């Protein structure tokens, strides 16, 4: 069997406080467009990093140090790669537009009472979701002229909401929380009547502590979640067809991965090639893959690779790149970002 | 501000005598790594002032040397503190002070867990969860009022 290795390509320095999150621009890395991602930090700034096409070296392309006045907790690119949304502890979400290489803040979304923790664009880029320590999830409609209108405020979580994420193909929203649950939200009917259609909690084989992040596989029929309870859980759903309002609405427990991290797991991300990465407060990165050779019961997941001491401190975010090469970026409390390549050892 | 004290009449205990640190047996090597031990962590924390009394956490027996567990090899510390009363609303502030002091004093490789002593607080699980959620801690420390409170409690512990 071939042995795989996570090879460190570059260690990126620039942030002066912990790096909370990073997001690859989805339209880069193809057709001669250099790879690019954004990172955000406790230093209240967002940095844009780009890879030089000829040298392969990464460098800072821009530092966005306004308008956020507190920690910038997360960031997300619109599907077209033209807009960047950044969520901050200052209770606002900023929208940035790339205008000829310069990033301009074109809109600031206000409304949350406390820290905004996560932001996510839907697949078609016409809806945005945000979540906050105020326990609510907001859905915003993207209107012409960089206008954003709040179309729904979703209440249901009993504690702060750590992350929101849209399904990769359907307009179904997922949120995970300090209240240990994952909630599934959908538009019932045609009147922007968003409702919680499922709550995945402890009684449904759910997590027993804060759920920090979630990610989908490429086809959108599986979801992985990670938690302070030190487990990763895989959930599955079926596309039940349009006659009942579209698929991927009901999720059931598929398997639980225990014993791979010994401190809080903050981040998990599934690649298009079917490998998911996890990053945790134990400073380690783990990669998992579908186990085709497993028992008759059906495929489970096996550990593909473990990278101890990937950073000097907690790992807050791991994200696979959109390009052709299997690149993974990780962001840490040590203030650095590392770009890794998954290579086979000979 | 709080007009009535949560615990108006706390019991004050005597401070432990400060032990002189004994040098390790082989003192020839000035560059030898000296592991961080229980007493060193206790010394970092003992003089933190209680948020509502002019006494130290040691004098109120909120922390003791035995409440510090340390594994220098694994870069791990766990501090278990005992609030003076079961319904102490100051418990999260005390926990925050302990965490901030350790954050500022220990090498960054250290992992720190802070918890209230089992059975010592009415909402033990909730307090523990909050104190160990680093996102909540980060947000709290960006709150100027909370940070002032923490800094005031920490002031006597810097020498």
A282-309: pLDDT as tens digits: 999 999 999 876 665 655 899 999 999 9
Residue of B nearest to A74 (CA): B135
- In this prediction, residues A196-200 reach a mean pLDDT of 96
pLDDT greater at residue A317 or residue B26: A317
What's the CATH number of domain B38-157, 3.10.310.30, 3.40.50.300, 3.30.360.10, 3.30.300.130?
A: 3.30.300.130
Cis status, amide bond into B61, omega within 30 of 0: no
Among A1-10, A38-47, A137-146, A163-172, which stretch is predicted with the lowest mean pLDDT? A1-10
- CA A167 – CA A227 distance, rounded (Å): 19
- Interface A-B, measured as beta-carbon pairs within 8 A, has a size of 34
Instruction: Give the pLDDT of residue A139.
Output: 97
How near does any CA of chain B get to the CA of A267, in Å?
A: 13
- In this prediction, residues B75-100 reach a mean pLDDT of 93
- In this prediction, residues A72-84 reach a mean pLDDT of 97
* Closest by Cβ to A71, choosing from B109, B133, B138: B138
| 3-state DSSP of chain B | CCCCCCCCCCCCCCCCCCCCCCCCCCCCCCCCCCCCCHHHHHHHHCCCECCCCCCECCCCCCCCHHHEEEECCCCEEEEEECCCCCCCCCHHHHHHHHHHHHHHHCCCCCEEEEEECCCCCCCHHHHHHHHCCHHHHHHHHCCHHHHHHHHHHHHHHCC
A71 contacts B139? CB cut-off 8 A: yes
- CA A238 – CA A56 distance, rounded (Å): 41
How near does any CA of chain B get to the CA of A332, in Å?
A: 12
Measure the N-to-C terminal CA separation of chain B; round to a whole number of Å. Answer: 28
Give the pLDDT band (50/70/90) at residue A248.
confident
Residue of B nearest to A42 (CA): B138
Packing angle between helix B144-154 and helix B134-141, nearest 10 degrees? Answer: 90
- In this prediction, residues A1-10 reach a mean pLDDT of 88
Instruction: Give the pLDDT of residue A297.
Output: 62
Residues B129-153: tens digit of each pLDDT: 999 999 999 999 999 999 999 999 9
Give the pLDDT band (50/70/90) at residue A166.
very high
Among A22-31, A176-185, A270-279, B10-19, which stretch is predicted with the lowest mean pLDDT? B10-19
B chain contacts of residue A160, beta-carbon cutoff 8 Å: 136
- CA A294 – CA A237 distance, rounded (Å): 21
Residues B98-128: tens digit of each pLDDT: 999 999 999 999 999 999 999 998 899 999 9
Give the pLDDT band (50/70/90) at residue B38.
very high
A312 contacts B109? CB cut-off 8 A: yes
pLDDT(B24) > 80: no
Answer for the pair A85, A107: CB distance below 8 angstroms, yes or no: no
Q: Quick one: what percent of chain A has pLDDT higher than 90?
A: 87
Residues A15-71: tens digit of each pLDDT: 999 999 999 999 999 889 999 999 999 999 999 999 999 999 999 999 999 889 999
Each domain of chain B, given as residue ranges in start order, spans 38-157
Give the pLDDT band (50/70/90) at residue B18.
confident
* Closest by Cβ to A71, choosing from B108, B111, B142: B142
B chain contacts of residue A263, beta-carbon cutoff 8 Å: 111
- In this prediction, residues A329-345 reach a mean pLDDT of 96
Task: Give the phi and the psi of residue B98 in degrees, each rounded to 5.
Answer: -60, -45
Interface test mutation site (partner A, options B78, B138, B140, B143, max chain A beta carbons within 10 A): B138
What's the CATH number of domain A3-345, 2.130.10.10, 3.20.20.150, 3.30.70.20, 3.40.50.2300?
A: 2.130.10.10
How near does any CA of chain A get to the CA of B55, in Å?
A: 33
A chain contacts of residue B129, beta-carbon cutoff 8 Å: 178, 209-210
B108 contacts A162? CB cut-off 8 A: no
pLDDT greater at residue B22 or residue A239: A239
User: Residues B15, B36, B104, A75: what is their CA dihedral angle, to the nearest 10 degrees?
Assistant: -140
Instruction: Give the pLDDT of residue A249.
Output: 84
pLDDT(B1) > 60: no
Q: Which residues of B touch A (CB under 8 A)?
A: 108-109, 111, 129, 133-136, 138-139, 142
- In this prediction, residues B63-82 reach a mean pLDDT of 96
Q: What is the ipTM of this complex?
A: 0.93
Q: DSSP 3-state assignment of A29?
A: coil
A210 contacts B129? CB cut-off 8 A: yes
Instruction: Give the pLDDT of residue B13.
Output: 86
Task: Check residue A321 and report its DSSP letter.
Answer: -
Instruction: Give the pLDDT of residue B22.
Output: 58
pLDDT(B2) > 60: no
B142 contacts A89? CB cut-off 8 A: yes
Q: Which residues of A touch B (CB under 8 A)?
A: 18, 42, 70-71, 73, 89, 114-115, 117, 133, 160, 162, 178, 209-210, 228, 263, 281-282, 312-314, 333-334
B chain contacts of residue A112, beta-carbon cutoff 8 Å: none
Tokens of A227: 């938690």
Instruction: Give the pLDDT of residue A191.
Output: 66
- CA A333 – CA B135 distance, rounded (Å): 11
pLDDT(B32) > 80: no
Each domain of chain A, given as residue ranges in start order, spans 3-345
């Amino acid at each position: 069997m071939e042995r795989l290795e996570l090879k460190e390509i570059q260690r990126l320095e620039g942030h002066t406080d912990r790096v909370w999150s990073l997001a690859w621009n989805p339209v880069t890395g193809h057709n001669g467009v250099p790879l690019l991602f954004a990172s955000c930090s406790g230093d209240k700034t967002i940095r844009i990093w780009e890879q030089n096409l000829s040298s392969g070296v990464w460098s800072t392309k821009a530092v966005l140090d306004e308008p956020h006045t507190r920690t910038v907790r997360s960031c997300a690119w619109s599907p077209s790669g033209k807009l960047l949304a950044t969520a901050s502890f200052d209770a606002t979400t900023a929208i940035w537009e790339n205008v000829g290489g310069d990033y301009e803040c074109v809109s600031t979304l206000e409304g949350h009472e406390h820290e905004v923790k996560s932001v996510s664009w839907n697949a078609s880029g016409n809806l945005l979701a945000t979540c906050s320590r105020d326990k609510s999830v907001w859905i915003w409609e993207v209107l012409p002229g960089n206008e954003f209108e709040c179309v729904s405020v979703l209440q249901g979580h009993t504690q702060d909401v750590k992350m929101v994420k849209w399904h990769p193909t359907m307009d179904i929203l997922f949120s995970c929380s300090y209240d240990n649950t994952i909630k599934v939200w959908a538009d019932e009917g045609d009147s922007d009547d968003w409702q919680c259609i499922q709550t995945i909690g402890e009684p449904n084989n759910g997590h027993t502590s804060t759920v920090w992040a979630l990610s989908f596989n490429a086809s959108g029929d599986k979801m992985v979640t990670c938690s302070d309870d030190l487990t990763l859980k895989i959930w599955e759903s079926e596309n039940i067809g349009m006659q009942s309002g579209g698929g991927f609405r009901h999720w059931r427990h598929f398997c639980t991965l225990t014993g791979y991290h010994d401190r809080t797991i903050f981040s998990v991300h599934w690649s298009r090639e079917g490998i998911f990465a996890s990053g945790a407060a134990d400073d380690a990165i783990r990669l998992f893959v579908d186990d085709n050779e497993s028992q008759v019961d059906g495929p489970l997941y096996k550990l593909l690779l473990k990278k101890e001491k990937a950073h000097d401190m907690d790992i807050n975010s791991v994200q696979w790149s959109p390009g052709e090469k299997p690149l993974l970026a990780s962001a840490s409390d040590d203030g650095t970002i590392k770009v890794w390549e998954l290579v086979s050892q000979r | 501000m709080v007009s009535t004290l949560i615990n108006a009449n706390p019991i004050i205990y005597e401070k432990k005598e400060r032990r002189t640190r004994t040098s390790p047996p082989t003192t020839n090597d000035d560059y030898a790594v000296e592991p961080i031990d229980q007493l060193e962590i206790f010394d970092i924390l003992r003089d933190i002032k209680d948020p509502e009394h002019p006494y130290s956490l040691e004098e109120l027996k909120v922390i003791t040397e035995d409440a510090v567990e340390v594994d220098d090899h694994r870069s791990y510390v766990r501090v278990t503190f005992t609030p003076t009363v079961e319904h102490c609303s100051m418990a999260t502030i005390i926990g925050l002070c302990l965490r901030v002091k350790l954050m500022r004093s220990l090498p960054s490789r250290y992992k720190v867990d802070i918890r209230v002593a089992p059975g010592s607080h009415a909402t033990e699980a909730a307090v523990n969860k909050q104190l160990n959620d680093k996102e909540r801690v980060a947000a709290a420390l960006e709150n100027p009022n909370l940070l002032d409170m923490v800094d005031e409690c920490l002031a006597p512990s810097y020498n």
